[in-house]
Structure 1
Amino acid sequence: MMSFGSFVYIACLLLNGANMLLQIFCVIMFSDLEMDYINPIDLCNKLNDLVMPEIISHTLVTLLLLLGKKWLLFLANLPLLVFHANQVIHKTHILDATEIFRQLGRHKRDNFIKVTFYLIMFFTLLYCMVMSLIQEE
């Protein structure tokens, strides 16, 4: 029988992997906008549909780590959770097609930082999951 700690690591790993792929997709879309392969309205329509699922899944990851008493990983995820909360409170999480070119550099930078964060967390969670499953045996 799998322990709750192993379940937390597996669930967080899957959600974190999905968020990482989502951010890679966003970086590709912003690059397409820079190269003029996609127009700003289509970009905003596609990416705005993906913003809240990313925020919700990252919130779920953070809550699972808190409930699983994985304090160090919880604290590592807390700054991004605060960043997401700040975006939602100030309504800057939604992309505006009329302003996207002025804010493109900031959005690309934020997404590269998120990809890096999710990549580091992915391998950290993978290591923790493997160690947790080995210790159960």
Structure 2
Amino acid sequence: MSGEAWLYLFAVLINAVNLFLQVFFTIMYSDLEWYVLAQLGTKASELHSAPSSSDYINPIDLCNRLNTYIIPEAAVHGFLTLLFLVNGYWVALVLNLPLLGWNIKKILDNTHLLDATEIFRKLNVHKKESFFKLGFHLIMFFFYLYSMIVALIKDEKA
């Protein structure tokens, strides 16, 4: 197996981890949304499939849980992008640069961590970002998988 195939295999695995992290983020944001609806006194008939009240997460716990994963998720994505740069896989590099730039901008502006006092106002923004990253990682998962298969086929022909 060539270095290219190993790199794309590594990318598939790392991207799968980031994909599952984004699913976790999305679920946690949805759980907070149920918490908000319950706190606002929404009628039980309006909560179509609400979890039991003991399943709610409060904003402080949510922020503490998610803040733990924000920097590692960005760092792993940055490391993977750096590997594409060093090895000269320009298409993969160019596809990863926008999200890397977004993550770097958020970290430099010190807006990357969730704040429990602002989470209710910014919940929709965080959910949209999470869905965007979820879509990005899903597309990249299949791109890396395809690239790995192409690299393996090239190895077999050589």
Q: The TM-score by the shorter chain falls in which range?
A: over 0.9
1:53 to 69, 72, 76: 72
What one-letter code is carried by the residue in structure 1 that aligns with 2:30? S
2:115 to 82, 92, 96: 96
1:41 to partner: Cα distance: 0.4
- The normalised TM-score by structure 2 is 0.84
Equivalent in the alignment of 2:26: 27
Is residue 65 of structure 1 aligned with residue 64 of structure 2? no
Structure 1 outlier segments of 4+, above 2 Å? none
SS in 2 for 1:102: coil
Q: Which moved more, 1:35-44 or 1:60-69?
A: 60-69
Equivalent in the alignment of 1:12: 11
Q: Give, in whole Å, the separation in 2 of the partners of 1:63 and 1:8.
A: 12
After superposition, what is the alpha-carbon deviation per residue over 1:69-113, rounded to whole angstroms, capped at 9, x for unaligned?
A: 110110010000000000000111100001000010100000000
Q: State the identity as a percent.
A: 49
Give the helix-richer structure, 1 or 2.
Answer: 1
Whichever of the two has the greater Rg, that structure is 2
Is residue 119 of structure 1 aligned with residue 119 of structure 2? no
Long gaps (5+) in structure 2? 36-55
- The normalised TM-score by structure 1 is 0.97
1:68 to partner: Cα distance: 2.1
Q: Give, in whole Å, the separation in 2 of the partners of 1:59 and 1:6.
A: 20
Q: For 1:79-90, what aligned pairs fall within 5 Å after superposition? A: 79-90=98-109
Aligned pairs, how many?
136
Equivalent in the alignment of 2:43: none
Q: Give, in whole Å, the separation in 1 of the partners of 2:78 and 2:146.
A: 21
1:8 to partner: Cα distance: 1.1
SS in 2 for 1:66: helix
